[in-house]
Amino acid sequence: MRNLIINGDMRIDQRNEGAAISVATNSAQRSVDKFYGWGVAAAGVFNVQRLSATPPSGFTNYLRATVTTQDVTPAAVSNYFVATNIEAYLIEKSNGGLATAQSLSLQFAIRSSVTGTFSGSLRNSSAARTYVFSFTIASANTWTPIQITIPGDTVSTGWVLSGNGTGIILAISLGSGATNSSTAGSWQSGNFTNVTGGTNLISTNGATLDLTGVQLEVNPSCTVFDYVRYEVQLAECQRYYEKSFIQGTKPANNVGTGTSETAFAAATVTGTTNQYAQNFKVTKRASGATMAFYNPSAANSQVRNETLSADCSSSVAANIGDGLFMIQTNPSVATVVGNILGIHWTADVDL
C-alpha cells in the first residue's frame, strides 16, 4: 500500500456513523476513523462530521469541519485543526531524520466556503520538527485538488521510525495564533500547524471546510489515489478502534438485544463472578485499550441478563491484551447457570 494515511477517503466512521462531534477542548475529539479535531476551550468551537452528499469525483465520503462559535482573533496560543497520527511502523522507509531521508508527496481534495491561503503541517513524533505547507482555495464551495512535495528531513531530533507509537502527524489548519504559526516551505525546529498570515477559517461563524482523498506517500511526486478494498480498510481501522456493534450502528446503550453484542452463558450463579474471554477481530496496536461497555437493553454500562431481562450488579473489562480481554460481571439476582448474558463494547487504542 502506497498511502501512509489510513481511511484517507473517510469511508469508515465506527465511533459516530455520520453524527457531528463538537471540538472545543485541548484534546483529540475523534471523528471518522483515524482523524480528529483539535480546538481551544472557551474560544472558537467547530464540529467535525462524515458526510456523503456532494463528494468529489471518485469518492463517496468526506470530512466536514463547521465553525459553530467563531474566534475572530485567535490568541497567541490558540490552535484549531483536523489531523491524523500515523504510526511509526508505517513510516520506516521514509528515513526521516537520517542523511538518507526520502521526499514525501501529499495530496488531498479540499473545499471551503471561505477562500484564501490555507495551510497545514507535518510534524514528527515529538513535534520537535515541523514542515508547514500552504495552498490556495480560489473558489468558494468548489472541490480543489492539492498536491505538495515535501523534502526529507535530515535533522534527527524527535524522529521515530519504528514501533507502535506516533511517527508523523498530518494536520490541516483551521486557524491559530502566533505561537503556532510559522513560515512555509522548509523543515524547522518547533511545533507549528499554520502559516503566518494564513486564512483563519475559525474566525467566520458557519464557515465550512471539507476534506477527502488524503494520501501521503514516500515518493517525490504524487501518484493516483491508492483505493483500498472496504474490508481491508476496516481491518486497518480496527487495529486502533473496534466495536461489537454492527457497522452502521453508533455505539450507544439500549440498542436492543440480538444486535451483535457479545453474548455468553452464565457459568456461575448470583453472588459469584462470571468471566468470559472475548477475542478482538483484529490484533490491536497495543495492549491496554480504553474499554467502554454498553447495555443492550438499558441506559447503563452493565452486562444484561437477557434471559431474565435484568442487569448485572457490576461489569468490568480486565486483562486487556492486544488480542483479547476478559468480561467480568457479578450476575443479577436469580441468575442460574446457563442464563444468557450480553454486553456491547468498544476498544480504543488510537494514537
In a domain, 12, yes or no: no
| Averaged pLDDT for residues 68-85 | 96
Is residue 1 pLDDT above 90, yes or no? no
Report whether 287 contacts 320 (CB < 8 A): yes
**pLDDT tens for residues 168-218?**
999 999 999 999 999 999 999 999 999 999 999 999 999 999 999 999 999
Owning domain of residue 291: 243-348
Whether 137 and 225 share a structural domain: yes
In a domain, 14, yes or no: no
Confidence (pLDDT) at 270 = 80
Whether 116 and 211 share a structural domain: yes
Whether 79 and 169 share a structural domain: yes
Confidence (pLDDT) at 269 = 84
Q: Confidence class of residue 45 from pLDDT cuts 50, 70 and 90?
A: very high
Q: Give the domain CATH number at 328.
A: 2.60.40
Q: Last residue of some domain: 217, 238, 259?
A: 238
Is residue 41 pLDDT above 80, yes or no? no
Query: Taking phi first (over 0 means left), then psi (-120 to 50 degrees means alpha), and beta for anything else, what does residue 306 get?
Result: alpha
Confidence (pLDDT) at 22 = 96
In a domain, 2, yes or no: no
Whether 43 and 187 share a structural domain: yes
Confidence (pLDDT) at 42 = 72
Residues 91 and 258: their CA atoms lie apart, in Å, by 41
Whether 213 and 250 share a structural domain: no
In a domain, 10, yes or no: no
| Averaged pLDDT for residues 110-122 | 98
Whether 169 and 64 share a structural domain: yes
Confidence (pLDDT) at 268 = 87
Whether 207 and 323 share a structural domain: no
In a domain, 340, yes or no: yes
Q: Last residue of some domain: 223, 238, 253?
A: 238
Residues 342 and 303: their CA atoms lie apart, in Å, by 6
In a domain, 15, yes or no: no
Confidence (pLDDT) at 78 = 94
Q: Give the domain CATH number at 47.
A: 2.60.120.260
Percent over 70 (pLDDT), the chain: 100
Whether 322 and 186 share a structural domain: no
Is residue 111 pLDDT above 80, yes or no? yes
Domain count, the chain: 2
In a domain, 274, yes or no: yes
Is residue 28 pLDDT above 90, yes or no? no
Q: Confidence class of residue 151 from pLDDT cuts 50, 70 and 90?
A: very high
Whether 290 and 220 share a structural domain: no
Sign of CA dihedral 346, 350, 16, 26: positive
Whether 208 and 273 share a structural domain: no
Whether 229 and 262 share a structural domain: no
Q: Last residue of some domain: 238, 260, 282?
A: 238
Q: Is the pTM of this model over 0.85?
A: yes
Confidence (pLDDT) at 26 = 84
Whether 41 and 99 share a structural domain: yes
Residues 318 and 312: their CA atoms lie apart, in Å, by 16
| Averaged pLDDT for residues 55-83 | 97
In a domain, 139, yes or no: yes
Residues 257 and 90: their CA atoms lie apart, in Å, by 39
| Averaged pLDDT for residues 269-285 | 93
Q: Confidence class of residue 27 from pLDDT cuts 50, 70 and 90?
A: confident
Quick one: three-class SS letters along the chain? CCCCCCCCCCCCCCCCCCCCEEECCCCCEECCCCCEEECCCCCCEEEEEEECCCCCCCCCCEEEEEEEECCCCCCCCCEEEEEEEEEHHHHHHHCCCCCCCCCEEEEEEEEECCCEEEEEEEEECCCCEEEEEEEEECCCCCCEEEEEEECCCCCCCCCCCCCCCEEEEEEEEEEECHHHEECCCCEEECCCCEECCCCCHHHCCCCEEEEEEEEEEECCCCCCCCCCCHHHHHHHHHCCEEECCCCCCCCCCCCCCCCCCEEEECCCCCCCCEEEEEECCCCCCCCCCEEEEECCCCCCCCCEECCCCEECCEEEEECCCCCEEEEEEECCCCCCCCCEEEEEEEEECCC
Confidence (pLDDT) at 48 = 98
